[in-house]
Amino acid sequence: MNVKYDFSGKVALVTGAGSGIGRATALAFAQAGASVAVADIAAEHGQETVQLIKRAGGEATFFYVDVGSEESVDAMLAGVVDQYGGVDFAHNNAGIEANIVPLAELDSDNWRRVIDVNLSSIFYCLKGEIPLMLGRGGGAIVNTASASGLIGGYRLSGYTATKHGVVGLTKAAAIDYANQNIRINAVCPGPVDSPFLKELPQPMRDRLLFGTPIGRLATVEEVARAVLWLCSDDSKYVLGHSLSVDGGVAVTAVGTRMDDLF
């Protein structure tokens, strides 16, 4: 991955950095010269990301975190401060899928867990990261939302609700700290060639592509590039924005597509 940014001397925190988009973003930050706090609930995968960074000549440390627990987030951030002195960039990326069922059939325990991991986690991370950045004179934060934070989805009520919440929380937080040199934005990926999608049956993967005008899945590196741009000075006038990296998912009307019928 070619990275033009120079983040030397900076510290980047990435949650959910053990795989997928989080790992790609952690690697990209390291390639740009940042020291990377690799945070994940899956210790083995997080350590693998650290080793990938170190083998490439970068600096990284693993920190365990369950982002659905405020206490765990606070402990993780305390560890990052002990190791690196603070945080300049944060990619609040960790999240989970919800049960894919009609709303009335969604298990309430699943609803609460998805809210905790996908939405409350962003609040906990922002609440802890912002004071650290204020102490360093500013910073940049990118929250991972989704195309599902911009549109609805069949049988995805729990997941959609959380990602719409991330978009709204991003906007509100961005306004609160706009004049204190902290920029907060969101990235909204569409279908990404990630470990989760690799597990889906081929008919489901085909249907995702049918609703993606560009005709292919995104790579994790493409999303990582968007995150780094939002953290860089190249986007220093971008604030509270939800950046679609979705191949056109959020702007298309799938019901008008008829080419498969002819």
Sheet holding 59-64, edge to edge: 59-64, 35-40, 11-15, 89-92, 139-144, 182-189, 242-245
Q: Which of 84, 124, 159, 177 is catalytic?
A: 159
* CB proximity list for 229: less than 8 A, separation 6 or greater: 235
3-state class of 154 per DSSP? coil
Give the integer Cα–Cα distance in Å for 170 and 233: 19
CATH of domain 11-193+220-243: 3.40.50.720
pTM of structure: 0.95
Give the integer Cα–Cα distance in Å for 10 and 84: 9
Beta-carbon count within 10 A of 123 CB: 16
* CB proximity list for 201: less than 8 A, separation 6 or greater: none
Nearest to 223 by CA among 256, 258, 255, 247: 247
**Contact call for residues 169 and 123 (beta carbons, < 8 A):** yes
Cα 17 to Cα 30, 86, 171, distances in angstroms = 12, 18, 24
Please, which residues bridge with residue 187 across strands? Answer: 144, 243
Distance, C-alpha 233 to centroid of its chain: 19
Known catalytic residue: 159?
yes
Nearest to 93 by CA among 181, 1, 27, 138: 27
pLDDT at 90: 98
pLDDT in tens, the chain (262 residues): 555 799 999 999 999 999 999 999 999 999 999 999 999 999 999 999 999 999 999 999 999 999 999 999 999 999 999 999 999 999 999 999 888 899 999 999 999 999 999 999 999 999 999 999 999 999 999 999 999 999 998 899 999 999 999 999 999 999 999 999 999 999 999 989 887 777 778 887 888 888 888 889 899 999 999 999 999 999 999 999 999 998 889 998 776 676 776 6
